[in-house]
């Protein structure tokens, strides 16, 4: 056994944790080892991490004992929850508590908690500019993460609170890519008005997290926000136009319209975008591009991300062109 420090990574087969695992595994001389935590060690993604040199350990974040075992002997723990798997802020809070308890139990020296703002600090429940959801949240998948910050700090855990940004991969996997309107043109639809949306290549989150671990104590007890770009809807549409070779227009709907789209999570996301729109300066300010790039010099811009991913963005064929109209 070498004397490398172990980083236990929750969500190791996913976007954030996967990026962290790959960042550590690529840096053979960096002094860290990966303990990749997954529910299924036999999955292709888990096997891939093992082949790259990770120790793979089975856990379930709903099973506190499994986390305690998995964090044992670890120097660091990367903690993240999976709201979109269950849509429950209460479950997210319980899962964060399990991770905080396990980190305390194992005496982990550095925790990175992947969090987001508790928007109720800006928009109290009594503020009717956006509806209250699930009785006590404004943006459930943000608020529960922000509320869970206290679970780490109250236990005296040496924690860095990592504020992430909108993944540009949402244009590929989350149905947020350009859609063809009835007029045959391509549109991206966001309720952001002319305000800027901080975004990031999801792989960069893990690279930033690794840089934070490598800085030792510098960011313990601190909140660190990261983004690869702050772009308006028009700027995103212009970059997509260049990347896809077909005009993409920005469809700036109101948050009310967005909340009414009816897909699962539409109200939560409508409120989220409204929060980002109405508090642009605080939200972008918490995610400095200069700081992010200093932490991770290879941080991708939206244009660089598009260069690599343009072919993965699903774009419906233009029926007018297909039929020769």
**Nearest distance, CB of residue 135 and ligand NAP, angstroms:** 20
Closest by Cα among 207, 164, 168 to 302: 168
CA distances from 105 to 73, 76, 119, 151, 192 (A): 11, 13, 30, 14, 43
Distance CA 251, CA 134 (A): 28
**Nearest distance, CB of residue 277 and ligand NAP, angstroms:** 16
Q: Does 206 bind ligand NAP (CB under 6 A)?
A: no
Show the site string, 92-121: x = touches ligand NAP by CB under 6 A, - = not. Answer: ------------------------------
Nearest to ligand NAP of 48, 128 (CB atom): 48
CA distances from 233 to 97, 110, 190, 200, 255 (A): 36, 37, 7, 15, 14
Q: Which residues does residue 114 pair with via DSSP β-bridges, in sequence order?
A: 162
Distance CA 228, CA 200 (A): 5
Q: Does 15 bind ligand NAP (CB under 6 A)?
A: yes
Show the site string, 47-86: x = touches ligand NAP by CB under 6 A, - = not. Answer: ------------xxxx-----------------xxxxxx-
Nearest to ligand NAP of 82, 279 (CB atom): 82
Rounded to the nearest 10 degrees, what angle do helices 140-153 and 266-278 cross at? 70
Distance CA 325, CA 323 (A): 6
Nearest to ligand NAP of 91, 105 (CB atom): 91
**Nearest distance, CB of residue 223 and ligand NAP, angstroms:** 15
Contact 144, 93 (CB under 8 A): yes
Q: Which of 5, 8, 14, 100 binds ligand NAP (CB under 6 A)?
A: 14
Q: Does 274 bind ligand NAP (CB under 6 A)?
A: no
**Nearest distance, CB of residue 295 and ligand NAP, angstroms:** 17
Q: Does 39 bind ligand NAP (CB under 6 A)?
A: yes
Task: With contacts defined by CB under 6 A, name the span among 36-44, 150-158, 222-230, 263-271 that binds ligand NAP.
Answer: 36-44
Task: With contacts defined by CB under 6 A, name the span among 35-43, 235-243, 253-261, 301-309 that binds ligand NAP.
Answer: 35-43
- Which residues are within 8 A (CB) of 62 and not within 5 positions of it... i.e. 6 or more apart? 91, 94, 95, 98
Nearest to ligand NAP of 13, 292 (CB atom): 13
**Nearest distance, CB of residue 218 and ligand NAP, angstroms:** 23
Instruction: Tell me the three state secondary structure of residue 113.
Output: strand
Contact 183, 319 (CB under 8 A): no
**Nearest distance, CB of residue 30 and ligand NAP, angstroms:** 21
Rg for the chain, CA atoms, rounded: 20
Nearest to ligand NAP of 21, 243 (CB atom): 21
Q: Does 43 bind ligand NAP (CB under 6 A)?
A: yes
Nearest to ligand NAP of 185, 223 (CB atom): 223
**Nearest distance, CB of residue 106 and ligand NAP, angstroms:** 17
Q: Where are the beta strands (DSSP E) in 104-195?
A: 110-115, 159-163, 166-167, 179-180, 186-190
Q: What is the dihedral of CA 296, 285, 11, 204, to 10 degrees?
A: -30
**Nearest distance, CB of residue 169 and ligand NAP, angstroms:** 7
- Which residues are within 8 A (CB) of 129 and not within 5 positions of it... i.e. 6 or more apart? 123, 274, 278
Q: Per CB under 6 A, which of residues 129..168 are in contact with ligand NAP?
A: 141, 164, 166-167
Closest by Cα among 39, 36, 82, 34 to 59: 39
> Given the rule CB under 6 A, which residues bind ligand NAP?
11, 13-17, 38-40, 43, 46, 59-62, 80-85, 141, 164, 166-167, 170
């Amino acid at each position: 056994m070498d004397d490398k420090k172990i980083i236990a990574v929750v969500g190791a087969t996913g976007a954030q944790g996967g990026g962290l695992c790959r960042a550590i595994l690529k840096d053979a001389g960096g002094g860290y080892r990966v303990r990749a935590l997954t529910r299924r060690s036999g999955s292709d993604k888990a096997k891939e991490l093992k082949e790259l040199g990770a120790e793979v350990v089975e856990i379930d974040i709903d099973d506190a004992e499994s986390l305690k075992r998995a964090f044992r002997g670890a120097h660091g723990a990367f903690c993240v929850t999976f709201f979109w798997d269950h849509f429950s802020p209460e479950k997210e809070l319980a899962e964060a508590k399990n991770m905080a308890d396990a980190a305390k139990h194992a005496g982990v020296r550095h925790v990175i908690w992947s969090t987001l703002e508790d928007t109720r600090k800006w928009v109290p429940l009594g503020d009717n500019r956006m509806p209250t959801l699930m009785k006590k949240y404004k943006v459930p998948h943000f608020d529960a993460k922000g509320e869970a910050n206290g679970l780490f700090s109250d236990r005296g855990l040496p924690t860095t609170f990592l504020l992430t940004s909108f993944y540009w991969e949402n244009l590929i996997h989350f149905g947020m890519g350009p859609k063809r309107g009835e007029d045959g043109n391509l549109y991206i639809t966001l309720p952001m008005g002319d305000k800027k949306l901080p975004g990031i290549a999801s792989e960069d989150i893990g690279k930033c997290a690794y840089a934070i671990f490598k800085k030792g104590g510098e960011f313990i007890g601190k909140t660190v926000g990261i983004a690869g770009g702050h772009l308006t809807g028009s700027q995103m549409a212009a970059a997509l136009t260049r990347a896809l070779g077909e005009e993409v227009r920005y469809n700036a709907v109101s948050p009310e319209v967005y909340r009414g789209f009816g897909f699962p999570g539409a109200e939560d996301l409508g409120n989220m975008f409204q929060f980002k729109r109405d508090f642009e300066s605080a939200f972008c300010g918490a995610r400095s591009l200069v700081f992010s790039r200093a932490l991770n010099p290879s941080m991708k811009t939206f244009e660089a991300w598009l260069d690599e991913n343009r072919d993965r963005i699903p774009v419906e064929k233009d029926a007018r062109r297909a039929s020769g109209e």
